[in-house]
Protein backbone atom coordinates (compact mmCIF):
# COMPACT_ATOMS: atom_id res chain seq x y z
CA UNK A 1 0.00 0.00 0.00
CA UNK A 2 2.82 2.41 0.87
CA UNK A 3 4.49 1.68 -2.46
CA UNK A 4 1.27 2.42 -4.34
CA UNK A 5 0.81 5.77 -2.54
CA UNK A 6 4.41 6.77 -3.21
CA UNK A 7 4.04 5.94 -6.91
CA UNK A 8 0.81 7.97 -7.17
CA UNK A 9 2.38 11.03 -5.48
CA UNK A 10 5.43 10.83 -7.77
CA UNK A 11 3.36 10.72 -10.92
CA UNK A 12 1.32 13.71 -9.75
CA UNK A 13 4.49 15.68 -9.06
CA UNK A 14 5.87 14.93 -12.53
CA UNK A 15 2.58 16.09 -14.11
CA UNK A 16 2.63 19.38 -12.23
CA UNK A 17 6.23 19.94 -13.15
CA UNK A 18 5.46 19.29 -16.81
CA UNK A 19 2.63 21.83 -16.82
CA UNK A 20 4.79 24.42 -15.14
CA UNK A 21 7.55 23.94 -17.69
CA UNK A 22 5.13 24.34 -20.60
CA UNK A 23 3.74 27.51 -19.05
CA UNK A 24 7.25 28.91 -18.64
CA UNK A 25 8.02 28.55 -22.39
CA UNK A 26 7.81 31.82 -24.42
CA UNK A 27 4.90 32.10 -26.88
CA UNK A 28 5.88 31.46 -30.52
CA UNK A 29 6.09 34.84 -32.39
CA UNK A 30 3.36 35.55 -34.96
CA UNK A 31 4.71 36.85 -38.29
CA UNK A 32 2.84 39.59 -40.15
CA UNK A 33 1.62 38.59 -43.63
CA UNK A 34 3.70 39.96 -46.55
CA UNK A 35 2.42 43.19 -48.14
CA UNK A 36 -0.04 42.72 -50.97
CA UNK A 37 1.33 43.06 -54.51
CA UNK A 38 -0.65 45.60 -56.54
CA UNK A 39 -0.55 46.51 -60.25
CA UNK A 40 0.07 50.10 -61.37
CA UNK A 41 -0.83 51.09 -64.95
CA UNK A 42 2.18 52.29 -66.95
CA UNK A 43 1.54 54.74 -69.84
CA UNK A 44 5.02 54.40 -71.35
CA UNK A 45 5.21 53.06 -74.91
CA UNK A 46 4.29 53.50 -78.56
CA UNK A 47 0.58 53.51 -79.42
CA UNK A 48 -1.68 53.61 -82.46
CA UNK A 49 -5.39 54.23 -82.64
CA UNK A 50 -8.50 55.63 -84.31
CA UNK A 51 -10.68 58.62 -83.55
CA UNK A 52 -13.97 60.11 -84.62
CA UNK A 53 -16.35 62.85 -83.62
CA UNK A 54 -17.55 66.31 -84.46
CA UNK A 55 -15.91 69.51 -85.74
CA UNK A 56 -16.93 73.08 -86.39
CA UNK A 57 -15.24 75.47 -88.81
CA UNK A 58 -15.63 79.26 -88.67
CA UNK A 59 -14.53 81.18 -91.78
CA UNK A 60 -14.51 84.94 -92.35
CA UNK A 61 -14.09 86.23 -95.90
CA UNK A 62 -12.62 89.58 -96.85
CA UNK A 63 -11.67 91.23 -100.14
CA UNK A 64 -8.26 92.77 -100.78
CA UNK A 65 -8.46 95.21 -103.73
CA UNK A 66 -5.42 96.05 -105.79
CA UNK A 67 -5.14 99.21 -103.72
CA UNK A 68 -6.88 99.89 -100.44
CA UNK A 69 -7.84 98.31 -97.13
CA UNK A 70 -9.42 94.89 -96.60
CA UNK A 71 -13.19 94.90 -97.10
CA UNK A 72 -15.10 92.51 -94.79
CA UNK A 73 -17.44 90.14 -96.62
CA UNK A 74 -19.00 88.29 -93.65
CA UNK A 75 -18.44 85.13 -91.56
CA UNK A 76 -20.10 81.73 -91.42
CA UNK A 77 -19.90 78.71 -89.08
CA UNK A 78 -20.88 75.11 -89.75
CA UNK A 79 -20.27 71.74 -88.07
CA UNK A 80 -19.78 68.23 -89.40
CA UNK A 81 -18.21 64.83 -88.83
CA UNK A 82 -14.51 63.95 -88.60
CA UNK A 83 -12.78 60.54 -88.62
CA UNK A 84 -9.15 59.42 -88.68
CA UNK A 85 -6.25 57.97 -86.76
CA UNK A 86 -3.28 58.82 -84.57
CA UNK A 87 0.12 57.41 -83.66
CA UNK A 88 2.42 58.48 -80.86
CA UNK A 89 4.73 57.73 -77.96
CA UNK A 90 4.30 58.42 -74.26
CA UNK A 91 6.88 58.34 -71.48
CA UNK A 92 5.85 58.22 -67.80
CA UNK A 93 8.03 59.62 -64.99
CA UNK A 94 6.34 59.10 -61.63
CA UNK A 95 2.83 60.44 -62.11
CA UNK A 96 3.79 62.80 -64.97
CA UNK A 97 3.39 61.65 -68.57
CA UNK A 98 5.07 63.26 -71.60
CA UNK A 99 4.18 62.47 -75.20
CA UNK A 100 4.46 63.25 -78.90
CA UNK A 101 1.60 62.51 -81.32
CA UNK A 102 0.71 62.78 -84.99
CA UNK A 103 -2.95 62.76 -86.07
CA UNK A 104 -4.68 62.88 -89.46
CA UNK A 105 -8.45 63.06 -90.10
CA UNK A 106 -10.90 63.28 -92.95
CA UNK A 107 -13.50 66.00 -92.39
CA UNK A 108 -16.75 67.33 -93.78
CA UNK A 109 -16.83 70.92 -92.48
CA UNK A 110 -18.52 73.18 -95.02
CA UNK A 111 -19.74 76.75 -94.50
CA UNK A 112 -21.63 78.98 -96.94
CA UNK A 113 -23.04 82.50 -96.93
CA UNK A 114 -24.18 85.27 -99.24
CA UNK A 115 -21.59 87.93 -100.00
CA UNK A 116 -22.13 91.22 -98.17
CA UNK A 117 -20.14 93.15 -100.77
CA UNK A 118 -21.93 91.73 -103.82
CA UNK A 119 -25.14 89.84 -102.88
CA UNK A 120 -25.41 88.43 -106.40
CA UNK A 121 -22.78 85.88 -105.31
CA UNK A 122 -22.34 83.48 -102.41
CA UNK A 123 -19.19 81.84 -101.05
CA UNK A 124 -18.41 78.38 -99.68
CA UNK A 125 -15.45 77.12 -97.65
CA UNK A 126 -14.96 73.39 -97.10
CA UNK A 127 -12.39 71.74 -94.81
CA UNK A 128 -12.02 68.17 -96.12
CA UNK A 129 -9.00 67.06 -94.04
CA UNK A 130 -6.73 68.22 -91.23
CA UNK A 131 -3.63 67.07 -89.38
CA UNK A 132 -2.01 67.71 -86.00
CA UNK A 133 1.58 67.34 -84.78
CA UNK A 134 1.55 67.97 -81.04
CA UNK A 135 3.42 67.48 -77.79
CA UNK A 136 1.65 66.37 -74.60
CA UNK A 137 2.12 66.75 -70.86
CA UNK A 138 -0.19 64.93 -68.47
CA UNK A 139 -0.81 63.67 -64.94
CA UNK A 140 -1.79 60.05 -64.26
CA UNK A 141 -3.73 58.38 -61.46
CA UNK A 142 -2.99 54.72 -62.19
CA UNK A 143 -5.17 53.95 -65.27
CA UNK A 144 -6.57 57.51 -65.58
CA UNK A 145 -4.69 60.24 -67.45
CA UNK A 146 -5.50 63.91 -68.00
CA UNK A 147 -3.31 65.90 -70.37
CA UNK A 148 -2.72 69.15 -72.25
CA UNK A 149 -1.41 69.24 -75.82
CA UNK A 150 -0.16 71.84 -78.26
CA UNK A 151 1.68 72.17 -81.55
CA UNK A 152 1.12 72.59 -85.28
CA UNK A 153 -2.07 72.15 -87.32
CA UNK A 154 -2.72 71.92 -91.06
CA UNK A 155 -6.03 72.03 -92.95
CA UNK A 156 -6.94 71.17 -96.55
CA UNK A 157 -9.50 73.63 -97.93
CA UNK A 158 -11.62 74.27 -101.00
CA UNK A 159 -13.13 77.71 -101.76
CA UNK A 160 -16.01 78.30 -104.18
CA UNK A 161 -17.91 81.31 -105.49
CA UNK A 162 -21.32 80.70 -107.06
CA UNK A 163 -24.32 82.73 -108.12
CA UNK A 164 -26.88 83.27 -105.39
CA UNK A 165 -29.70 82.75 -107.89
CA UNK A 166 -29.37 79.45 -109.70
CA UNK A 167 -26.32 78.22 -107.73
CA UNK A 168 -23.95 78.27 -110.71
CA UNK A 169 -20.28 77.89 -109.80
CA UNK A 170 -18.15 80.70 -111.25
CA UNK A 171 -14.80 80.40 -109.42
CA UNK A 172 -12.93 77.95 -107.19
CA UNK A 173 -9.57 77.47 -105.48
CA UNK A 174 -7.83 75.06 -103.11
CA UNK A 175 -5.34 75.78 -100.35
CA UNK A 176 -3.35 74.01 -97.65
CA UNK A 177 -3.04 76.12 -94.52
CA UNK A 178 -0.76 75.85 -91.48
CA UNK A 179 -1.55 77.15 -88.01
CA UNK A 180 -1.41 76.25 -84.33
CA UNK A 181 -3.36 73.84 -82.10
CA UNK A 182 -4.16 73.66 -78.38
CA UNK A 183 -6.14 70.91 -76.68
CA UNK A 184 -7.03 69.01 -73.54
CA UNK A 185 -7.94 65.35 -73.12
CA UNK A 186 -8.73 62.50 -70.74
CA UNK A 187 -7.74 58.85 -71.31
CA UNK A 188 -8.61 55.73 -69.31
CA UNK A 189 -6.88 52.35 -69.57
CA UNK A 190 -9.77 49.88 -69.50
CA UNK A 191 -7.65 46.82 -70.39
CA UNK A 192 -3.92 45.93 -70.18
CA UNK A 193 -2.95 47.57 -73.51
CA UNK A 194 -6.13 49.44 -74.45
CA UNK A 195 -7.31 52.94 -73.56
CA UNK A 196 -10.25 55.12 -74.53
CA UNK A 197 -10.53 58.87 -74.17
CA UNK A 198 -12.19 62.13 -75.10
CA UNK A 199 -10.37 65.19 -76.44
CA UNK A 200 -11.12 68.83 -77.32
CA UNK A 201 -8.87 70.76 -79.73
CA UNK A 202 -8.89 74.32 -81.02
CA UNK A 203 -7.11 75.08 -84.31
CA UNK A 204 -5.94 78.65 -84.87
CA UNK A 205 -5.40 78.95 -88.63
CA UNK A 206 -5.12 82.75 -88.93
CA UNK A 207 -5.72 84.76 -92.12
CA UNK A 208 -4.47 83.96 -95.63
CA UNK A 209 -4.89 85.56 -99.07
CA UNK A 210 -6.22 83.39 -101.89
CA UNK A 211 -6.46 83.98 -105.63
CA UNK A 212 -8.90 82.21 -107.94
CA UNK A 213 -7.88 80.83 -111.32
CA UNK A 214 -10.29 83.32 -112.93
CA UNK A 215 -11.01 86.98 -112.26
CA UNK A 216 -12.74 87.32 -108.89
CA UNK A 217 -16.44 87.77 -109.75
CA UNK A 218 -17.30 89.48 -106.45
CA UNK A 219 -14.81 92.34 -106.95
CA UNK A 220 -12.79 92.12 -110.17
CA UNK A 221 -9.06 91.80 -109.55
CA UNK A 222 -9.38 91.46 -105.76
CA UNK A 223 -7.90 88.66 -103.69
CA UNK A 224 -9.92 86.86 -101.03
CA UNK A 225 -8.54 87.00 -97.48
CA UNK A 226 -10.03 84.18 -95.43
CA UNK A 227 -9.67 83.77 -91.66
CA UNK A 228 -10.27 80.34 -90.17
CA UNK A 229 -10.67 78.69 -86.76
CA UNK A 230 -11.70 75.07 -86.11
CA UNK A 231 -13.11 73.39 -82.98
CA UNK A 232 -12.90 69.60 -82.59
CA UNK A 233 -14.43 67.16 -80.09
CA UNK A 234 -13.38 63.54 -80.66
CA UNK A 235 -13.38 60.11 -79.03
CA UNK A 236 -10.05 58.21 -79.20
CA UNK A 237 -9.34 54.47 -78.96
CA UNK A 238 -5.66 53.48 -78.62
CA UNK A 239 -3.65 50.26 -78.50
CA UNK A 240 -0.30 50.57 -76.71
CA UNK A 241 2.63 48.27 -77.40
CA UNK A 242 4.68 46.95 -74.48
CA UNK A 243 4.04 45.90 -70.87
CA UNK A 244 0.81 47.32 -69.48
CA UNK A 245 1.52 47.26 -65.73
CA UNK A 246 4.29 47.71 -63.19
CA UNK A 247 4.33 45.63 -59.99
CA UNK A 248 4.33 47.73 -56.80
CA UNK A 249 4.07 46.93 -53.07
Confidence bin at 69 (pLDDT 50/70/90): confident
| Alpha carbons 187 and 198: distance in angstroms, whole number | 7
Return the closest-CA partner of residue 103 out of 236, 243, 244, 248. 236
Query: CA dihedral in degrees (169, 173, 176, 182; nearest 10)?
Result: -50
Rounded to the nearest 5 degrees, what angle is found at the Cα of 241, between the Cα atoms of 235 and 243?
115
Confidence bin at 116 (pLDDT 50/70/90): very high
The alpha-carbon radius of gyration of the chain (Å, integer) is 37
pLDDT score, position 37: 46
User: Does a structural domain hold residue 10?
Assistant: no
Return the closest-CA partner of residue 109 out of 126, 122, 124. 126
181 exposure class (CB count in 10 Å sphere: 0-12, 13-18, 19+): buried
The model's pLDDT over 168-182, given as tens digits with 9 standing for 90+, comes to 999 999 999 999 999
User: Does a structural domain hold residue 15?
Assistant: no
Confidence bin at 26 (pLDDT 50/70/90): low
pLDDT score, position 210: 86
Q: How far, in Å, are 2, 18, 51 from residue 11 at the CA level?
A: 14, 11, 88
User: Does a structural domain hold residue 197?
Assistant: yes
pLDDT score, position 185: 98
pLDDT score, position 219: 87
User: Does a structural domain hold residue 14?
Assistant: no
Q: Please state, rounded to an integer, the average pLDDT across all residues of the chain.
A: 86
User: Does a structural domain hold residue 90?
Assistant: no
pLDDT score, position 65: 84
Q: How far is CA 93 from the centre of its chain?
A: 19
Confidence bin at 5 (pLDDT 50/70/90): very low
pLDDT score, position 29: 61
Q: Per mean pLDDT, which range of 11-25, 41-55, 171-185, 217-231 is the poorest? A: 11-25
| Alpha carbons 211 and 161: distance in angstroms, whole number | 12
User: Does a structural domain hold residue 207?
Assistant: yes
End-to-end CA distance of the chain: 71
> What is the CATH classification number for the domain harbouring 191?
2.40.160
The model's pLDDT over 56-67, given as tens digits with 9 standing for 90+, comes to 999 999 998 877
User: Does a structural domain hold residue 129?
Assistant: yes
Is residue 211 pLDDT above 90, yes or no?
Answer: no
The parent domain of residue 74 ranges over 43-84+95-242
Q: How many domains does the chain have?
A: 1
70 or 185, higher pLDDT: 185
User: Does a structural domain hold residue 1?
Assistant: no
Return the closest-CA partner of residue 203 out of 235, 158, 233. 233
* pTM assigned to the model: 0.80
**DSSP helix/strand/coil, 44:** coil
| Alpha carbons 233 and 7: distance in angstroms, whole number | 97
Amino acid sequence: MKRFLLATVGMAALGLGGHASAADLAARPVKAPPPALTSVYDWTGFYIGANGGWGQSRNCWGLVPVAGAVISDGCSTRGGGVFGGQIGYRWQMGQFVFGLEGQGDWADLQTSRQSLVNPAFSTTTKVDAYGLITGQIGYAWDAALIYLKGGAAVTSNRYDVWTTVGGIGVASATATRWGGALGVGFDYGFAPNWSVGIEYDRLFMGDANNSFSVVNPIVAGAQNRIGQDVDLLTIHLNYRFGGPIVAKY
